[in-house]
Amino acid sequence: MNQPEKLQNKQVMTVDVEDYFHVSAFENTIAKADWNQLELRVESNVYRLLELFEQHNAKGTFFTLGWVAEHCPRLVKAIVEQGHELASHGYAHQRVSQMTAEQFKQDVELSKKLLEDASGQAIVGYRAPSFSINDDNVWAYDVLAELGFEYSSSTYPIEHDLYGVPEWPRFSYQRPEGILEIPIPTVRKNNKNIGIGGGGYFRLYPYWLSKKRIDNFINSEQQPYNFYFHPWEIDPHQPRIEGASIKSKLRHYLNLSKMEAKITNLLVDYQWDTMKNIYLAKK
């Protein structure tokens, strides 16, 4: 089987490993100083995902917070022991747009060290919290290259109130800094990019519609499709954050009870592999 056929047959599964209290939607409601007092649910949720992936012979890339590696080192070890790729999601889910270049370097360097110490593997991939690399902080790619990263999946080329770079490339491309950027997938509709990469959109839409859009992307674009979601999205019994806005609550809690079944459908309907195996093999 040649490389193009292989890429058409396998898609990329990614998991942003963070807990329910790490998310950007709650950053003004939950203080970082209080994180250690909150119920930790990321371990049980990720172990459940590892079971599902093993049942369906799926591999994926786990973009993991350094904070999680620090508090759950055995979980990080379990991810790599089951053949998945470990990558960085920063240390404490702080958006790149909220940091200076030096702060970003410290954040990512700490995350990389914690992940490598816990896993015993080199970390070459990075995803910015809330897809927060944009026109104002392209210096982030220089930092990533300096720290030894090979790829990033930190941009979503859509219009969105919290993130998005709709004018940026839709498909993976090599940046001048030496980093391969892998955007979240979109389809074109009415001259606009429509997000089909996962997360809240995937929870919102019925599975048949998501599958139709994924199939359309795979068949028409001749590109590997990459999907993302979070462990807390399969956890309908997670604690409710009462102080959050109605909009934040709607986004966070919508259809949590349906998510595990939808993920299972994806695992049945497609073959899944890691970012490193699919994208770096093309270089």
Average pLDDT over residues 95-119: 97
* 236-274 pLDDT per residue, tens: 999 998 888 888 888 898 999 999 999 999 999 999 999
Tokens standing for residue 242: 């009462």
* 42-54 pLDDT per residue, tens: 999 999 999 999 9
Instruction: Calculate what percentage of the chain has a pLDDT beyond 70.
Output: 95
Q: Say which residues have a Cβ less than 8 Å from residue 119's Cβ, sequence separation at least 6.
A: 69, 76, 77, 79, 80, 86
Q: What pLDDT is attached to residue 128?
A: 97
Whole-structure pTM value: 0.94
Q: What pLDDT is attached to residue 4?
A: 40
Tokens standing for residue 214: 């994924």
Tokens 């349906």: give the residue.
258
Q: What pLDDT is attached to residue 199?
A: 84
* 122-132 pLDDT per residue, tens: 999 999 999 99
Three-state DSSP class for residue 271? strand
* 159-213 pLDDT per residue, tens: 765 665 778 889 999 999 999 999 999 988 888 988 899 988 899 999 999 999 9
User: Could you tell me the pLDDT band of residue 29, with boundaries at 50, 70 and 90?
Assistant: confident
Length of the chain: 283
Q: Say which residues have a Cβ less than 8 Å from residue 63's Cβ, sequence separation at least 6.
A: 14, 15, 16, 17, 87, 88, 89, 125, 126, 127, 153, 228
* Residue-range domains of the chain with CATH: 3-93+113-121+186-282 (3.20.20.370)
